[in-house]
Amino acid sequence: MSETIEVSVVGGSGYVGGELLRLLLFHPQVSVRQVTSARLSGRFVYTAHPTLRGTTSLQFTHPDALDRADVLFLALPHGEAAKAIDMFADKAERIIDCSADFRLRDTESYEQWYGTPHPAPEWLSRFVYGLPERNRAAIADSRFVSGVGCNATVTTLALAPLVDGGLLDHAVADVKVGSSEAGAKASPSSHHPERSGSVRSFKPTGHRHQAEVVQELGRGFRLDFSVTSVELVRGALVTAHCFLKESTSERDLWTLYRKHYAHEPFVRLVSGKSGIHRYPEPKLLAGSNYCDIGFATDELSTANRVVTIAAIDNLMKGAAGTAVQCMNIMLGFDETSGLGFPGLHPI
């Protein structure tokens, strides 16, 4: 497709909505039709997203006044998209939902991890999990694509070559995340005196994003998964202690990862031997759609241990960036269109 398409962002006042707008307003084949917010209806978009000042005169529209568009991006709080999915499906040919509502494929898994029955169980099978590196062909053929969990994304991409290569027996993955993962709405845990300087174990066990990793990679390995909040605004870094089924040299591991990601435009392998940036670092990825992956082999381990490290911007590759990447695939655009920003250094 080469024509300009009209998109709207539903629930555009939060951090993910702001990132979607930043990308879509500068996408060469996109015209943003509406941005909805019940709370901010009638106000200029830049009042919530000040970096857009001078770039757009869009005003927030009340959700009740949502018109048809070619693509709807849903950036609503958890549970809201599922409650109104029939209405949204009547408003657009294609929907990309950035919430967790349609990430899991079956009702039992959803109820197990979210603690409540799904509000629209008949819709789960209609959505494709929106991680292009795993589901590109299915995304291209789908009208409905789900968002991805940022912790799940960075972990899935870190482990995928080992799992697909039949090497991984057991992984212990700890994800360190920034405060923007909690969203734009303030809470006791995000209050500055409580958050500043903290390294807080948020979910040592039972984090919902673990279900996405297992769903996308399969059950042929054991995964232990923890999430830790650190003093960072943007970013997610996974340190995965991977215990392999057989001893594998560093050279063979690099060959495996290079082959696996040779044609992925947003996965970069970090292989420096010296310097402060020899391993992936979220700070370098702020505002970008890239996932950086590296690893260190443990030559002293008798358990075939490899430490795999991956980093993303949680609001980009873990949310809005991947959503726009999915839109490009669904519409036959260049997959990288609007997503070429490499990040900032220093920041």
Known catalytic residues are 150
| Strand ranges across the sheet with 305-312 | 199-203, 222-230, 168-177, 236-244, 305-312, 291-297, 267-269
Residues 6 or more apart in contact with residue 303 via CB below 8 angstroms: 243
Q: What is the DSSP code (8-state) at residue 327? A: H
Tell me if 242 sits within 8 A of 168, measured CB to CB: yes
Give burial (CB, 10 Å; 0-12/13-18/19+) of 41: middle
Residue 295's SS3 state is strand
Q: Give CA–CA dist 25/338, Å, rounded.
A: 9
Question: In which element (H, E) is residue 64 found?
Answer: none
Q: Kindly report the backbone phi and psi dihedral angles of residue 311, in degrees, each rounded to the nearest multiple of 5, phi listed first.
A: -135, 145
Tell how strand 199-203 and strand 168-177 pair up: unpaired
Give burial (CB, 10 Å; 0-12/13-18/19+) of 180: buried
User: By C-alpha distance, which of 237, 221, 240, 213 is closest to 298?
Assistant: 240
Residues 6 or more apart in contact with residue 211 via CB below 8 angstroms: 104, 109, 112, 113
Tell how strand 305-312 and strand 236-244 pair up: antiparallel
CA 270 to chain centre: 20
